Amino acid sequence: MTASHVNFATFVQTRDRPAPTSINVKRLKGQAIVAQGVEMVYHSGSQDYQVLRGVDLTIHQGDIHLLMGPSGSGKTTLLSILAGILTPTAGSVNLLGQEITQMSREQLAHFRLQNIGFIFQGFNLFPALTASENVEIALKVKGVRGASNRRRQAHELLTQVKLDDRINHLPRDLSGGQKQRVAIARALAGNPQIMMADEPTAALDSHSGHAVIELLRQLAKESNRTVLIVTHDPRLMDVADRVSSLEDGILQN
């Protein structure tokens, strides 16, 4: 699996892979994400392609952190590693005091579902399910019991993202901005402490993009939730607490 194939199905499961070369990382108070010495090498035949080169990154609890850079710079690969979807070739990733790069498959899957909400590039909604049902399935995967309870929580989340009048609509009947709101509501399922978003405004017009940006800001600040966003969109810099730039696999803060 490569970073370009990240979707809801890959997020809710993981594959067994060898543990990377480890670097001990100690979490300080207020740090939500700590990556140290992260490297990623892909093998293709006799060729090795190094995508990430010794990435060190610290993100504090409650911050909105942007990860910017040109196409092919390794942004989505790094995001996938920080989310526990991909395993780095070397280095350590510490989320909320837990070193996820040393977790077993089962431990990682459980940790990810309980602590991370992921907003996928291109919405990644199930086309045959309503807005509510798309959120309900995430709640079910995260262990919320009872169909009526899941339906109630889904409606609350869709109301939170100001989509209560589209609860029973299919994705084909929603605008791009509305689809993204469903995706955000789905990411909020289970009330995760960390949210990660891959190009959340890329498929949106200017008005819808601005509304999504403001929504992400509110969600971060009202709940002291950490938000990590991979983006090309300079408008997001207006709401960011910190910005990092990735180029040729090298991170600059």
Per the DSSP assignment, residues forming a β-bridge with 158 are none
First to last CA, the chain: 28
Instruction: Name residue 216's amino acid.
Output: L
Q: What is the pLDDT, as a whole number, of residue 6?
A: 53
204 vs 54: which has the higher pLDDT: 54
- For residue 249, the surrounding DSSP H or E stretch is none
Q: What is the pLDDT, as a whole number, of residue 50?
A: 94
Work out the pLDDT band at 23, boundaries 50, 70, 90: very low
Per the DSSP assignment, residues forming a β-bridge with 156 are none
Residue 205 has pLDDT above 50, yes or no: yes
pTM: 0.85
**What average pLDDT score do residues 8-18 get?**
49
Q: What is the mean pLDDT of the chain?
A: 88
Residue 214 has pLDDT above 80, yes or no: yes
How far does Cα 220 stand from its chain's mean position?
Answer: 13
> Are the CB atoms for 188 and 157 separated by under 8 Å?
yes
DSSP state for residue 21 in the 8-state scheme: B
**What average pLDDT score do residues 15-31 get?**
48
Sign of CA dihedral 91, 65, 175, 153: positive
Residue 188 has pLDDT above 80, yes or no: yes
> What is the edge-to-edge ordering of all strands in the sheet holding 116-119?
116-119, 194-198, 226-230, 64-68, 242-247, 250-252
> Tell me, which fold does domain 19-252 have in CATH?
Rossmann fold (3.40.50)
For residue 89, give the 3-state DSSP assignment. Answer: coil
> What is the edge-to-edge ordering of all strands in the sheet holding 47-60?
47-60, 31-44, 90-95, 98-99
User: Which range among 5-14, 133-142, 209-218, 242-251 shows the weakest confidence by mean pLDDT?
Assistant: 5-14
